[in-house]
Homo-oligomer: A and B are copies of this chain.
Amino acid sequence: MINNKINLGNTEIDKFLEKHHDKKVVVVQGLGFVGAVMSIVVANSDKNKYAVIGVDLPSRKAVIDALNSGEFPIQSSDNKVFEYFTNTKRRNNFYATSDDYAYEKADVVIIDINLDVAKVTGQDKKLEGFSVIMDGFKAAMRTIASRCKQDVLILVETTVPPGTTQKIVRPIFEEEFEKRGLPPSFKIGHSYERVMPGPGYVDSIKNFYRVFSGINEESADAVEEFLHTIISTDEYPLTRLGNTNATEMSKVLENSFRAMNIAFMQEWTEFAESAGVNLYEVVSAIRMRPTHQNIMRPGLGVGGYCLTKDPLLASWASQELFNSISLEQSEKAVSINDTMPLHTHKIFKNHFKGNTKGKKVLILGVSYLQNVGDTRYTPVELIYDKLLKDGVELVLHDPFVPFWPERNLKIDASDDVFEDSYDAIIIGTPHDTYVKEGKLDALLSNSAKLVVFDSHGIIEDDLRMKHDKHEFKIIGRGDV
C-alpha cells in the first residue's frame, strides 16, 4: 500500500526507495495539472523502470495527501487517468511529499511548476502592462541545485520565457555546484509538455509529438533517452532542436500563433455582423484549402493557462533576456482576446437597449473549454462580472464544473435550472450537452419567449426554425 503519511522526511522517502533500489528515481517537481499526470505516466513506464517521487509545497498538503491515500486530485473524464493511477498503486512506485530531501535521491528531476505572468489591467480587463514572476521558479531551481546528485538530469517542462534554461537555470546550477565544490557535472534539458485537460489527458503526454534540447550534447542525449522510455516515440517521433532557446521558443510560438489567429478573427467577426455575413460558413469554405485549415471560428473569448500568457512570456524574453524587440503583434493578440467577451456583452446590452437590470439570465457553461471542466482564465469571467454589474440576475450551469474557484461559486451541475424561466440564455461554453445532445432544444420547448445569445455559433438554422417564437443572436452572423 502507498503510505499515506507525508512529510516525515528522510525516513519515509528512504523507506519508499528501499523497495525500489533496482529502479531509477524520478522526482516530479510540481503536482499541479501537468505534474500530477506526468508522475503517473512516468510511474507507468514500460519496463517499470522508475520510482517516482512527486514534490510540491507544504501548502499543497491536500494534494499530497490525496495522492498518497490513493485519490487522484484532479477530476478527469479520461479513463486512462484512472487506469494509470490504479496501475501506479499496484506497482506502489509513486510517493508524494513536500520534503526537499527527495532531490538528493533523484536521477532525474522533472520541473513542472508554474511560471506566471502578472497582468496589469485597466477597465474591462484591458491589458496595460505585465510582468513575469520569476522568483518562485528561480528559488525552486536553487533548492534543487543545492541538494541534487552530481550527475542529475534536470528536465524542464515548464513553459518558460525563451532563454530561461540557458540564462537562468544553468547559471543557478553552476553557482550552487561551485558552492558545493563540485564540477558542473549536471545535465539540463528542456522539453515542453502539451498537456490538455479532457478525454485525452494522459494521451497528451504519452501519445504526442515532442521537441527536446539540452544545454549540451550530453544533456540532449540524456533527455532523448529518458523520453523514449515514457512516450510512444515510435508513433510520435521526437524532434531534437539546436538549443534550449529553440525548444522554449517553440512552445510559446505555437501558442502565440494560435492566440493571434483567434484574435485576428475578432475584427472580422464585427465586419461579418455588419455585412450580414454568416462567418461560420465562410470559415468552413476557407478551411477546405489545406493552406488555410488553421483559420479560427468566432467565439466568446480565450481561456486556459497557456494562450492567455505565453505570448507575453515570449515578448518579455525578447526584451529582457535578449535585449531585442517587443513582440507587438503577440502582445496585441492577448490584449484583444482578453477583452473579446465584451463583444457578446455589447450585443446583449444593445438587444435590451441598456435595460438589463433585473433581467434573469441563464449562462450555459462556465469552463473555458468544451466538454471539460476547466475554469482557469475562462472568458465567462468577464461577461459574468459585467452582467453582475449591470444588475442582471444570473443563473449558471455547467455539468463539468460543480464549483467555480475563481468566483468562489457553487455551480448547478444538475438539470434543475432548466425548469426555471429566463429572459435570456447565453452560451458560455459550447458543451455538447447543450445543442448536440438536446438540452437547449428541450429548454426552448418549455420556455416562454426568450433571447438566446450564442457566442460560439453552435445553434444551426434547423433549431432556430423549430423555435421561431424565440429570438436568436449569434455572434459572427449577420443577424445579431
Contact = CB atoms under 8 A, between A and B. Distances in A.
B325 A242 contact: no
B286 A253 contact: yes
Interface in A463-480: 478
Contact of A325 (B260, B270, B317, B322): B270
Contacts of A163: 275
A271 B329 contact: no
A229 interface: no
A278 B282 CA distance: 36
B241 A257 contact: no
Interface of A is mostly: helix
Contacts of A290: 293
Interface stretch (A112-120, A243-251, A362-370): A243-251
A127 to B, nearest CB: 15
Interface in A252-272: 253-254, 256-258, 260-261, 263-264, 267-268, 270-272
A291 interface: yes
A277 B293 contact: no
Interface string A32-60: 00000000000000000000000000000
Interface string A444-467: 000000000000000000000000
A428 interface: no
Given A253-B268, A289-B254, A318 B260 contact: no
Interface in A310-329: 314, 317-318, 321-325, 327-329
A162 interface: yes
A334 to B, nearest CB: 13
Contacts of A250: 282, 285-286
Interface residues of A, number: 60
Given A239-B288, A254-B286, A257-B286, A249 B275 contact: yes
A277 B162 contact: yes
A163 B336 CA distance: 26
25 contacts: A162-B277, A239-B284, A239-B285, A241-B285, A245-B275, A245-B276, A245-B478, A246-B278, A249-B271, A253-B286, A254-B286, A260-B260, A260-B264, A264-B330, A267-B329, A270-B318, A271-B322, A271-B325, A275-B317, A275-B322, A275-B324, A292-B294, A294-B294, A294-B295, A329-B332
A241 B283 CA distance: 11
